[in-house]
Chain A
Amino acid sequence: QSALTQPASVSGSPGQSITISCTGTSSDIGGYKYVSWYQQHPGKAPKLMIYEVSNRPSGVSNRFSGSKSGNTASLTISGLQAEDEADYYCMSYTTSTTRVFGTGTKVTVL
């Protein structure tokens, strides 16, 4: 199972919106609603930000939103803030009943 494809880096100024893409296949992202997104600050464990494509866990800012079209999922961060600077990973369930992560995206707040 190959890793899902994400851009290596995305940047934006405070207050702007950015979108991170996550591309897979019909055997993972395209076939299921089980796409989730994780935020990881340096030296910390990842944190769940979005689950089942577009749902936010309690306590996660509504500036984070998720969507999916075909084999590509997206995470949008609106009103970018300094604290959003981190690595972001997508993850999907697969037809093999395994899970697969994306390659990861470093978000920089300019």
Chain B
Amino acid sequence: QVQLVQSGVEVRKPGASVKVSCKPSGYTFSSYGISWVRQAPGQGLEWMGWISAYNGNTKYAQNFQGRVTLTRDTSTSTAYLDLRSLRSDDTAVYFCVRDKNYVFDIWGQGSMVTVSS
């Protein structure tokens, strides 16, 4: 069964950083990229960036350039999202998703990140 399992709930203060993990299973990790998508409460989906699980190449949405870093660890077959300088409007559910030639076919369960003082 192909699935992506994400890390749990995170609570941070404004200005802090958060790192969310995503561990795929059921397929060869390096065969597909991983995109990250977030959804603020009551809002729509927002694409944040993509990483190639094969060679680590990345592409970021302009809105997040300089504040987000996507990495992957091939030894543990895990992808990571690192978001810095958190603000209250970063409060959202963060999803990792298998990016199969620009098609998001498998979604993680989501990780809730709350930013509050």
Contacts and interface: CB of A to CB of B under 8 A. Distances in A.
Given A38-B45, A98-B47, A101-B44, A48 B105 contact: yes
A89 B45 CA distance: 8
Nearest to B105: A48
A75 B91 CA distance: 30
Interface string B33-76: 00101000000111100100000000101100000000000000
Given A38-B45, A98-B61, A52 B104 contact: no
Contacts of B102: 32, 34, 36, 93, 99
A99 B44 contact: no
Contacts, number: 58
A1 B102 CA distance: 16
Interface residues of A, number: 26
A51 B107 contact: no
Interface of A: 1, 3, 32, 34, 36, 38, 40, 45-48, 51-52, 57, 87, 89, 91, 93, 97-104
22 contacts: A3-B44, A32-B102, A34-B103, A38-B104, A40-B45, A45-B108, A45-B109, A45-B110, A46-B104, A46-B107, A48-B104, A51-B105, A57-B105, A87-B44, A97-B59, A98-B50, A98-B59, A98-B62, A99-B102, A100-B47, A101-B37, A104-B44
